[in-house]
Structure 1
Amino acid sequence: MKHVQALPKKRLLASALLLALAPATYAVAQDQPAPTADASPATPDGAQGASGETQPTTLDQIIVTATKRETNLMETPISITVFGQEELDRQGITNVKDIFTLVPNMDIAFDSSQAAPVISMRGVRSTNITELGDPAVGLHLDGIYSPRPQGAMALMFDVERVEAQRGPQGTLFGRNSTVGNVNIISRRPDASAFEASVGMEVGRWNHQQMRGMVNIPVSDTFALRGSFITEQRDSYLNGYYDPNQWDTRYLPESVRNAPAYSGTPEERNLVQRQRWWAGGQDGLQDVVKAHPGSFYNNADQYAFRIAGLWEPSADFSWMLSYEKFQDSSAGSADTIDCSKANKRVFLQDGEPAPLQGCENAYGPGADSYTVLVSVPGMLDLSIDTVRSNMRWDFSDYLALVYNAGWAKQVRSQMSDMDRGVTDWDMSIFFRKADFRSQSHELQLQSTGDNRLQWITGVFYFEENNDMQGGWMNSMASASYWNQPDRTLSSQAIFAQGTYEMTEGLHLTLGYRHTRDAKEDVGGRNMDCNDSNPNLLDPDLHGGRCYPAWDRDAFVQLPGDYFWNPAIFTPVTNNDIKGEWSYNLWRAGLDYELTDRSMVFGYVANGIKAGGIGDVVVQYEQDPLTTEYPLDADGNRIIRQLHENTYDPEEVTTFELGIKSTLLDNRLRLMATVFYSDYRDMQIATARPLFVTYSFARDDNGVETDEVEANEFTVFQTDNIGKAKIKGLEVEFDWAVSQGGRLSGYFTYLDTEIVSDFIQQWGFGATDLFEIDHGASVDPENEQIRANLKGNELPSSPKFTASVSYSHAFDLNSGATILPWITANYRSSSYFTIFNTDKHEDLFATATPDAFSDKRPSNTNVYLGVKYIAPADRWSVEAFVNNATDTTEFYWAGGGDGLVRGPVSMPRFYGVRASYNFR
């Protein structure tokens, strides 16, 4: 097991050398538009260039590759948002998780247990981000598919542009581009000139970020480019270690031997009040403030890329790159939504408790950034990627393109899951999660100015996963999953062509046929509890695998004791295979109204792949004695096998749009309306399958003669329901004056489940229905079944808007001062598919708002001012992110009387600077 240091020393700056450099925004070279693409729509064209002369207040052409060939953004019949490195820098965006404020109708949640984002677009997302699931929004790096959602956490740096396409893109981009995709395009080496830059950023919570880039022309035909980024930041949470919780094995001695509790009885936190296993309130200890440098929600990561570009002629180019990303932070922790906790009354001995809201759980002064844990966070996530992009224009009319990628993602992780607010002290760990993938695509495409432009190709993708991890229910049991050989293969053929029927009128037809196969070989789910034998030491714990309800024995075990699969008893055999084939298609028309305006319309489908789940075995069991009958060979008798495979889901979209360049090339305006038919929705939920029987325990953890039923619940995906989605998106980019730039978007989105969707309630059921846990997961309990027809889809705010303004003031010295401001707004929406406020007639509680899955509306502001030296030699910028200090939750789960989820960063401010070498 990797050693977890709970209270490490504070980091120092990685290098004092860079402090001696003249201030400048990092990578000044990145501030300059590329020769063919201005991908920074918020950068005023009135700013000075290298010559120091003010440029005309017109908009540069933006080149995109959304059709897998270079086209003008305003002549591409697809809804696309494009932005570059400078816009990412301005809003403090370093990974895909944070780009949702820049993209219309995009929303991103986060799952702390998997260290992965959940990307939604136009109301469609994936609800399963484990190794079993697939995303609904495809992620591509330099045009090459990235399968794992954790890949979106990799740092974005030295970026040429980011293209976010909305609407089904499956005919060209393939699997899991159901409602769009994101393509991150890195800067290419350049053989024409040497270029280098270095920069740094410092800010609140000891934030320290450094970047660098060097471009070396080795010859007239070959160039190398290297770039890097490092980031360290203390946690923005008020974190504490709590030695009063059950599992203290990972805590350092200084915490385990914390002083006796020094507060008053009224100020005790939840664990201190309910610590019944220690004999009432005896032995209580103070909680210990965690070091922010090593606590949840800190940052400790780096990445670098080395790329080579060979262009021996105008007809051939080959770029080969290697990229490394490493995240050694503590991971993320969910916190309590105090605004909802304040809407209920917490009772103590039948009377209102002395502490209410978040203080009831964590003590005086607690807020939505407070958390108490007994398991320090640990994340070791590495991603190694090799990408190859080769193009050969072997005639005046034909080009051959071969894109290939190889990726290895390895993750170890440990997270506290109850965070001191439940009776059960729970945690999750990943001993090893090894994902290896390769992607190959060979394209043949037309070139030149023919009336018919086409592309055809073949695609192959393969992923091999080896994952081991477990779940600790520390008082009573542990579970372990071992998936040594879980594979995915996907093959496809595709073709798409655009034909100019008459001058200005184009017809586009596209088709793709895909075959997917997923298989699990040798996968096992295993248990360790007090009914399982101790397979390693028959004399330990009375021959039981787990020292249930015996805290003294439990805390003596090593921290990595349950990371050993040899101590667990296998309970399920996950050998399973699924195969699917499906067709993707697209048909569209576009017409050039004028030289600067076009209209377009299309109908297309998008498909998210089907999948497999764990195989669950139900054994015969005597409900009176709790014993399992055995067959002649001494094995338990199987009553039933529960297999879970699910089919692809499909979204068919009809879209109409217009793109216009107005006011003498000073205003770009893009608008689209769309309607989507969403069928066979894949919904991943915790679903009770059957019951098992065990002897109940008294308040001291001692077994009684009473038998109780325990629901066996699994996390599985089903195809359920049908939804309708309609919306409007308007984007604009306006050079309003000499040096002034106004840009932004406005969206409207309406989603509704339109088929009967009978579902067992899965959000805060114990609190909303005022029932115990057993009743909340009882598959026979009709009280908690509801028809979700008429509900809205999660993460689908009806209105969103973003407005950015910047103005370049040119100084006589040739320098420029550039103040800027961005404001984002999102209306209210829902965290889950349950929409609690639409079903309040079902609930028993008098305060349903306290357990609601409603996400409130929010407004966020980013602002700053930048000084650019003459000839762009250096620059310095002061900035404030989340100037409104908005507290926002990215996801929410209900239970134990509280709503919890990952919380946004509070107001963040700092200074960034860099120097450019030429």
Structure 2
Amino acid sequence: MSRTAYLLVSAAALALAAHIPASAQTASTPAPPQGADEETSGLADIVVTATRRDTNLQRTAIAVSAVDQSIIEQSNPRSLGDLAVFVPNFSAATVTNFNAASFSMRGIGQNTIIIYFEPPVAVLVDDFVMPSVQTQLLDTFDVAQVEVLRGPQGTLFGKNTTGGAVVVKTKKPELGTIGAELRGQVGDFKTRKLQGAFNVPIGDTLAFRGVIGYEYSDGYYRNGACYGLVVSFVPSKFAGRTGCGDGERLGGRDVWNARAKLLWEPSSNFNALLQYENIRDDSESIPGVNETNTGVLFDILGVGRSNPASKDPLNNAGISNRDDTLLFMQKGHRVYVDGLYLNMNLNVGFGTFTSVSGIRKQKSRLPSTYPDQAPVAADGEILSLFDASRDDDRKTWQQELRFASDLGGAFDFVAGGFYQHDEASYCVTETLGFQDLVTAPTPYGTWNQTPYILCNAQKGRSTAVFAEGTLKLAEGLTLTGGARYTWEKKRWWGRQQVFIPQLNGGNDPSIIVNEALDANVFDYPAGVIQIGAKSSDPTWRASISYQANPDLFLYGTYSRGFKGGGFNDQIGTFHPFLNADGSDNNALFAAAAAATKPETADSFEIGVKSEFLDRRVRFNVTGFHVTYSNLQKQIVVPLIVNGQPFQVTTFFNAAKAVVKGVEAELTAIPARGLTLRGVFGYQDGKYKEYVTPIPAGYNLADAPLDRAPKVTWSADATYELPISDFKLLLNGNVNYVGRNLFTQSIDSLADNTYLNARTLLNASITLAQQDDSYYVRLIGQNLADKRYKTASQVVGGLWQNSQYGPPRYFGLEVGLKFSSAAN
């Protein structure tokens, strides 16, 4: 049976089961918005699903933060990553050279684009696990609430969550309601945003919600990088060329996204939500800002220098804009997604069955200029120092089935099973113009005109069963315990990097490759190896909680999480695994390509959740201690192949680390109309050991943990002032993220790259009708016009480049919405 057929059969089975009578119906009541309760002028309840059932945030024995629709609207996030400021010890950046998520939580995170390296902070959208960091920076227009679960989730959200989980709930269709919501924004950098949603009932049991959005901008970088090729010790037609870029804007956005949702609710005990997701992202390639240290190769060559007329890094970006050698850079970073998802719930009186099914296809074409430079024309030829396009096709299937009991007594439980199957085919084509400055040409022409291709593929599956029970021991005292067992199996195909005529294992100049993935390992099996990896791991959680009084809740939790091992999609770069006669050494290649072992996290935390002053103040604080074992680390290592300088990304289990810290969240209503929010996070992380299979220039454990700022905090205030039939909302937010390591160098501690500490100030002024039927909002972001890094990479012995966050931005947004009961 095909997976599509399986999804449809599952739907039919639960739909038939919907007609089973329920002996006792329980309907969950949606949480009112965060903020003031109109009747009591106190804080409203917040309902979360961190335990896979609806619970009050203040009575949930998990460190979870909730960001609801009202906060999202006032803060005007560009993507899901901007909501990190409302969560303690949650840091969001981007992967160097990509518009991809680099999320970090409690000292562990992701800073690589490697497609087989699964992130330790999982992102789930309507319970479907997003497999790729390239699409985790979601648009937030259609989002009802975001729940951030901090720390390893060893039972209910157990797939690869050693750091935590970001659980996104999108808005559902409404039965019996006709409605629409429209929003438009214009702003700096020629920003244009159009977003809309409409709700249409279809009879008494069906409702449709359609959502569409478009975003465009010219980008905030300038193509101002300079070049000055001063090489004289090797003959080169590029030697002596100098100049700067044309100053055009770079890094613009061009994204369409849409969701179509159909809700069927034939009775009060059954509902089914079918969704189709569509993303068409044709944004420009992300440019780099050269920050190469003195003494390394690209400094010696005098290439990729900054614009001497400007010290602003945003004016010193560079990109080659090549469309030849399989790069197609002027088409930008293309990410196309099509997803089909089906969520069903069946209440049988003593509990609820839930099924989550999904099929998601993703196509990524990601050409980039790594060490930035101007688009140099030398004798009519564009020079690439190091340009590459990372291309992949990916398919993911997921099925989860669980049961949440409602026994009406002292004991309840959640139990179920999870299955995910993932297939990926990947190729990277590289154009290495810098080699023409230091060595002889390739057998097929100059390095600057000869694509060098690396391809591999993976098929993997993850299967798990889980159960968690809650027992009320006495009045206010509750014990929770659960476990999950996961089986993972992966198979990897790989071929060492070759030139196009070598794809059939010989020298065939007639081979035609129109894009990198045409050279995939299945169509050209010569030299391809296969290796497999299996693992099976138990994880668990145990907690005890005590409701001391209606306003004070205490809990303690121990949990274990794990993240499965992975392969390195860069292994085999620059064809380094050779015998003495120059032939492939596939045994050595296979040994180097072996998957890492799973990493584990053991976490202890204690927490206090409280409300006081007639629910005008809510204060939650958590202390934690996490030990990470078999940490999966990556380091870029310089190497010499046949006398030529190259680099390779290595990926291995290297370290053990301990992170401890504290997290605090405060919400208060000191006066009518005024809401204050504060978030504070502190974490102290240290390596206990760091042992690699490669020589290092220093003790790697001397460096801090990457993507682990010691201190993060934010303060937010919203004041609502009624004016006749209107209201004026004033919002201000200041947030701070401490300095944190991004990429660790193999050569020296001094070459490590950091994201600098930064404090950002944002604000908005909104004039809206009292019932929110329409509004006008003035938006200001990064009002102090700070320059701060969002990504930075060191390639040992060769170069270093970085990306920066947006400068000061002003925008104007208008919106309207209406809803009415259908006749």
Asked if residue 152 in structure 1 is aligned to residue 139 in structure 2, the reply is no
How does 1:232-243 map onto structure 2 within 5 Å? 232-239=216-223
How does 1:525-536 map onto structure 2 within 5 Å? 525-528=496-499, 535-536=507-508
Q: For the Cα contact (< 8 Å) 1:831–1:855, is it kept in 2?
A: yes
Shift of 1:530: 11
Q: For the Cα contact (< 8 Å) 1:577–1:612, is it kept in 2?
A: no
How many angstroms apart in 2 are the aligned matches of 1:638 and 1:460?
33
The 10-residue stretch of structure 1 (193-202 or 897-906) with the greater mean CA deviation from structure 2: 897-906
Which of 516, 528, 546 in structure 2 is aligned with 1:591? 546
How many angstroms apart in 2 are the aligned matches of 1:681 and 1:450?
42
Shift of 1:576: 0.9
Cα deviations by residue, 1:378-409 (Å, 9 ceiling, x for unpaired) = 12111111121111112x21221111111111
How many angstroms apart in 2 are the aligned matches of 1:169 and 1:636?
41
Which of 259, 265, 271 in structure 1 is aligned with 2:228? 271
Cα 1:450/1:759, change in 2 over 3 Å:
same
Cα deviations by residue, 1:308-359 (Å, 9 ceiling, x for unpaired) = 111111111111111111111113122145xx97xx8999999xx9x9xx99
Q: For the Cα contact (< 8 Å) 2:304–2:372, is it kept in 1?
A: no
Residue equivalent to 1:108: 92
Shift of 1:828: 2.2
Q: How many residues align?
A: 754
Q: Match of 2:341, SS?
A: strand
Gaps of 5+ in 2: 1-27, 322-328, 377-382, 437-446
How many angstroms apart in 1 are the aligned matches of 2:177 and 2:577?
71
Paired letter, 2:614: D
Q: For the Cα contact (< 8 Å) 2:111–2:742, is it kept in 1?
A: no
How many angstroms apart in 2 are the aligned matches of 1:334 and 1:320?
41
How many angstroms apart in 1 are the aligned matches of 2:319 and 2:646?
27
Paired letter, 2:717: Y
Paired letter, 2:428: G
Gaps of 5+ in 1: 1-33, 47-53, 243-268, 539-544, 546-557, 630-634, 694-708, 761-778, 841-847
Q: Match of 2:538, SS?
A: strand
Cα 1:330/1:225, change in 2 over 3 Å:
same
Asked if residue 288 in structure 1 is aligned to residue 238 in structure 2, the reply is no
The 10-residue stretch of structure 1 (107-116 or 902-911) with the greater mean CA deviation from structure 2: 107-116
Residue equivalent to 1:796: 708
How does 1:637-656 map onto structure 2 within 5 Å? 641-643=590-592, 644-656=594-606
Residue equivalent to 1:832: 743
Shift of 1:892: 1.5
Determine which structure has the larger strand proportion and give its number: 2
Asked if residue 303 in structure 1 is aligned to residue 204 in structure 2, the reply is no
Q: Match of 1:890, SS?
A: strand
Residue equivalent to 2:72: 88
How does 1:173-252 map onto structure 2 within 5 Å? 173-239=157-223
Q: For the Cα contact (< 8 Å) 1:157–1:228, is it kept in 2?
A: no
How many angstroms apart in 2 are the aligned matches of 1:162 and 1:493?
25
Residue equivalent to 2:697: 785
The 10-residue stretch of structure 1 (308-317 or 585-594) with the greater mean CA deviation from structure 2: 308-317
Cα 1:221/1:448, change in 2 over 3 Å:
farther
When normalised by structure 1's length, the TM-score is 0.76
Cα 1:122/1:238, change in 2 over 3 Å:
same
Q: For the Cα contact (< 8 Å) 1:155–1:302, is it kept in 2?
A: no
Q: Match of 2:649, SS?
A: strand
Residue equivalent to 2:628: 678
Cα 1:384/1:628, change in 2 over 3 Å:
closer
Cα deviations by residue, 1:41-76 (Å, 9 ceiling, x for unpaired) = 4xx538xxxxxxx76421111111111100111111
Asked if residue 373 in structure 1 is aligned to residue 373 in structure 2, the reply is no
Paired letter, 1:74: Q
How many angstroms apart in 2 are the aligned matches of 1:414 and 1:613?
19
Asked if residue 509 in structure 1 is aligned to residue 481 in structure 2, the reply is yes
Residue equivalent to 1:500: 472
Which of 405, 419, 424 in structure 2 is aligned with 1:460? 419
Which of 354, 357, 380 in structure 2 is aligned with 1:404? 357
Shift of 1:588: 0.5
Asked if residue 889 in structure 1 is aligned to residue 789 in structure 2, the reply is yes
Shift of 1:94: 3.7
Q: For the Cα contact (< 8 Å) 2:288–2:318, is it kept in 1?
A: no
Paired letter, 2:155: T
How many angstroms apart in 1 are the aligned matches of 2:185 and 2:354?
39
Shift of 1:531: 10
Cα 1:364/1:186, change in 2 over 3 Å:
same
Shift of 1:104: 1.1
Q: Match of 2:71, SS?
A: helix
The 10-residue stretch of structure 1 (213-222 or 528-537) with the greater mean CA deviation from structure 2: 528-537
Asked if residue 117 in structure 1 is aligned to residue 108 in structure 2, the reply is no
Q: Match of 1:871, SS?
A: coil
How many angstroms apart in 2 are the aligned matches of 1:175 and 1:347?
41
Residue equivalent to 2:306: 361
Which of 389, 408, 425 in structure 2 is aligned with 1:429? 389
Shift of 1:727: 0.5
Paired letter, 2:163: V
Cα 1:437/1:564, change in 2 over 3 Å:
closer
Q: For the Cα contact (< 8 Å) 1:874–1:916, is it kept in 2?
A: yes
Q: For the Cα contact (< 8 Å) 1:618–1:639, is it kept in 2?
A: no
Paired letter, 1:877: R
Shift of 1:127: 4.8
The 10-residue stretch of structure 1 (196-205 or 121-130) with the greater mean CA deviation from structure 2: 121-130
Paired letter, 1:270: Y
How many angstroms apart in 2 are the aligned matches of 1:661 and 1:178?
30
How many angstroms apart in 2 are the aligned matches of 1:380 and 1:789?
38
Cα 1:817/1:680, change in 2 over 3 Å:
same
How many angstroms apart in 2 are the aligned matches of 1:742 and 1:904?
26
How many angstroms apart in 1 are the aligned matches of 2:807 and 2:150?
30
Cα 1:716/1:573, change in 2 over 3 Å:
farther
How many angstroms apart in 2 are the aligned matches of 1:445 and 1:320?
21
Q: For the Cα contact (< 8 Å) 1:138–1:182, is it kept in 2?
A: yes
Shift of 1:636: 8.1
Shift of 1:279: 5.8
Cα deviations by residue, 1:511-564 (Å, 9 ceiling, x for unpaired) = 00000011124x3233129999994448xxxxxx9xxxxxxxxxxxx9958776
Shift of 1:129: 3.4
Cα 1:907/1:691, change in 2 over 3 Å:
closer
Paired letter, 2:547: E
Residue equivalent to 1:260: none
Q: For the Cα contact (< 8 Å) 1:301–1:328, is it kept in 2?
A: yes
Q: For the Cα contact (< 8 Å) 1:306–1:323, is it kept in 2?
A: yes
When normalised by structure 2's length, the TM-score is 0.84
Q: Match of 1:443, SS?
A: strand
Q: For the Cα contact (< 8 Å) 2:62–2:149, is it kept in 1?
A: yes
Shift of 1:108: 2.3
Cα deviations by residue, 1:809-838 (Å, 9 ceiling, x for unpaired) = 112x221111110000122222234699xx
Q: For the Cα contact (< 8 Å) 1:507–1:590, is it kept in 2?
A: yes
How many angstroms apart in 2 are the aligned matches of 1:751 and 1:139?
23
Q: For the Cα contact (< 8 Å) 1:619–1:637, is it kept in 2?
A: yes
Q: For the Cα contact (< 8 Å) 2:697–2:746, is it kept in 1?
A: no
Cα deviations by residue, 1:82-104 (Å, 9 ceiling, x for unpaired) = 11234234333243333322221
How many angstroms apart in 1 are the aligned matches of 2:641 and 2:238?
31
Cα deviations by residue, 1:16-38 (Å, 9 ceiling, x for unpaired) = xxxxxxxxxxxxxxxxxx96224
Residue equivalent to 2:440: none
Cα 1:854/1:746, change in 2 over 3 Å:
same
Q: For the Cα contact (< 8 Å) 2:97–2:803, is it kept in 1?
A: no
Q: Match of 2:396, SS?
A: strand
Cα 1:136/1:563, change in 2 over 3 Å:
closer
How many angstroms apart in 2 are the aligned matches of 1:659 and 1:606?
24
Identity %: 23
How does 1:21-40 map onto structure 2 within 5 Å? 36-39=30-33
How does 1:619-768 map onto structure 2 within 5 Å? 628=582, 641-643=590-592, 644-687=594-637, 692-693=641-642, 709-710=643-644, 713-755=647-689, 757-758=690-691
How many angstroms apart in 2 are the aligned matches of 1:300 and 1:398?
45
The 10-residue stretch of structure 1 (495-504 or 891-900) with the greater mean CA deviation from structure 2: 891-900
The 10-residue stretch of structure 1 (464-473 or 610-619) with the greater mean CA deviation from structure 2: 610-619
Asked if residue 45 in structure 1 is aligned to residue 24 in structure 2, the reply is no
Q: For the Cα contact (< 8 Å) 1:525–1:570, is it kept in 2?
A: no
Q: For the Cα contact (< 8 Å) 1:525–1:574, is it kept in 2?
A: no
Q: Match of 1:87, SS?
A: helix
Q: Match of 2:600, SS?
A: strand
Shift of 1:492: 0.6
Shift of 1:190: 0.8
Shift of 1:891: 2.1
